[in-house]
Amino acid sequence: MNDSVSKIREHGGDPKIVEARFGVPKDGWLDLSTGINPIPYAASACPDPLMHRLPLQKDMETLLAAARRAYDVPEDAAIVASPGTQALIQLVPSLFKSSTVSIVSPTYGEHAPAWRSAGHQVVEVAKLDVSTPYGLVVHPNNPNGRVQTVGNLLHSADEMFAKGGALVVDEAFCDVEPELSVTPHAGREGLIVLRSFGKFFGLAGVRLGFAICSPTTAERLLEKMGPWAVSGPALWAGTQALNDQAWIESTRQRLQSDRIRLDDLLSRADLRNVGGTDLFRLVETEDAQAVFEKLARRGILVRPFGSYPTWLRFGLPGDEAGWKRLTEAL
């Protein structure tokens, strides 16, 4: 069985890993190795009481109401907040008895190990395979931006539920294209949607994520997470950001504009566009390793893929100085 899911498990976002080889840049790192919005939401300072006391139920209810509006969650669907989507990736497979899960690949490298750790057999597929009881698809996909139709996702979820299984849809990068989201159709048994807060809002360190699912699935998740899973500061920052619709809309427009700018820059450098989202672009070139090293020597970190040696993923620069550095380096 092809094991490419686990082989691309390395992550971006840690320049220290390459400093041993390339040293510390005199101007610091321009880190383009993640798909995190480089211009974060400016949340106000967390009030002292939220730092000192345990989170209250009303704090959680306020956050979930904001998430329901922001993600267009139907009334009959439940929302579970967690300390980052990664926590949900680890927990969700444990909700189900051991069987086979088909994972649309290649994709984010943490899903397959989580399912294997929970006792499931992982089968990689090029497209959704309803012959298995469980399925996993990242939508839009990381790193190539592959998308599914909402109709296909819902049909697959129904087919898997009929076998006693479920479909998990990881929409970590769907904030930039909400029209692609299956979230407005959540609430039915057999469909679990994961939403990441930190990527679009540029606040990955807050550690906040959501599972949108049926009430019965939500109860089981909450039981596994236990009380106070989400910190007071995360509840505070998440509520502010998710309620700020003006910022959300303007950020979508800015990210789209910056993505077009990045596409043009990469094209002029003869790097072939493979896909991506408005938060990152995946390119292909036979000289990928040489390009990676050339950029690293200029203090610019992009994301290589050991199992796909012709691929590089570029995040967005956050300011004009970063755009200038990238343009000159390329």
21 & 63 share domain: no
Total Cβ atoms within 10 A of residue 285:
18
237 & 276 share domain: no
Question: What pLDDT sits at residue 15?
Answer: 81
232 & 131 share domain: yes
CATH number at residue 324: 3.90.1150.10
Q: Does residue 4 surpass a pLDDT of 90?
A: no
30 & 52 share domain: no
Q: Indicate the pLDDT class of residue 8, thresholds 50, 70 and 90.
A: very low
Domain boundary residue, one of 243, 262, 282? 243
Q: How would you classify residue 38: left for phi > 0, otherwise alpha for psi between -120 and 50, otherwise beta? A: alpha
CA pair distance 218, 270, nearest whole angstrom: 47
Question: What pLDDT sits at residue 5?
Answer: 34
256 & 193 share domain: no
Provide, rounded to the nearest whole percent, the portion of the chain with pLDDT above 70: 97
58 & 149 share domain: yes
Question: What pLDDT sits at residue 1?
Answer: 35
Q: Does residue 116 surpass a pLDDT of 50?
A: yes
Question: What pLDDT sits at residue 179?
Answer: 97
Domain boundary residue, one of 228, 243, 258? 243
Total Cβ atoms within 10 A of residue 26:
6
Provide CB contacts within 8 A for 120, sequence distance 6+: 93, 96, 98, 99, 100, 101, 134
Q: Over the stretch 251-305, which tens digit does the pLDDT of each residue have?
A: 999 999 999 999 999 999 999 999 999 999 999 999 999 999 999 999 999 999 9
Question: What pLDDT sits at residue 169?
Answer: 98
133 & 168 share domain: yes
Task: Read off the pLDDT of each residue in 13-22 and give the average, rounded to a whole number.
Answer: 82
Task: Read off the pLDDT of each residue in 5-16 and give the average, rounded to a whole number.
Answer: 59
Q: Which two three-digit tokens encode residue 87?
A: 């926590």
152 & 9 share domain: no
Find where tokens 């993923």 sit.
313
CATH number at residue 200: 3.40.640.10
Q: Which long-range contacts (CB under 8 A, 24 or more apart) does 282-289 make?
A: 282/143, 282/144, 282/145, 282/311, 282/312, 282/313, 282/314, 283/311, 283/312, 283/313, 283/314, 284/310, 284/311, 284/312, 285/310, 285/312, 286/310, 288/312
212 & 307 share domain: no
Provide, rounded to the nearest whole percent, the portion of the chain with pLDDT above 90: 91
81 & 27 share domain: no
Domain boundary residue, one of 194, 220, 243? 243
Question: What pLDDT sits at residue 91?
Answer: 98
99 & 216 share domain: yes
Task: Read off the pLDDT of each residue in 189-206 and give the average, rounded to a whole number.
Answer: 98
Q: Over the stretch 73-92, which tens digit does the pLDDT of each residue have?
A: 999 999 999 999 999 999 99
Q: Does residue 2 surpass a pLDDT of 60?
A: no
CA pair distance 123, 134, nearest whole angstrom: 10
Q: Which of 15-24, 49-58, 108-117, 146-155 has the lowest mean pLDDT?
A: 15-24
Q: Over the stretch 26-83, which tens digit does the pLDDT of each residue have?
A: 889 999 999 999 999 999 999 999 999 999 999 999 999 999 999 999 999 999 999 9
Q: Indicate the pLDDT class of residue 146, thresholds 50, 70 and 90.
A: very high
Domain that holds residue 265: 4-39+246-329
Question: What pLDDT sits at residue 14?
Answer: 78
Q: Does residue 9 surpass a pLDDT of 60?
A: no
Q: Indicate the pLDDT class of residue 10, thresholds 50, 70 and 90.
A: low
In angstroms, what CA-CA distances link 101 with 151, 212, 255? 20, 20, 34
In sequence order, the β-bridge partners of residue 210 are 81, 195
Is the pTM here over 0.75, yes or no?
A: yes
Q: Over the stretch 209-248, which tens digit does the pLDDT of each residue have?
A: 999 999 999 999 999 999 999 999 999 999 999 999 999 9
How many structural domains are present in the chain? 2
67 & 210 share domain: yes
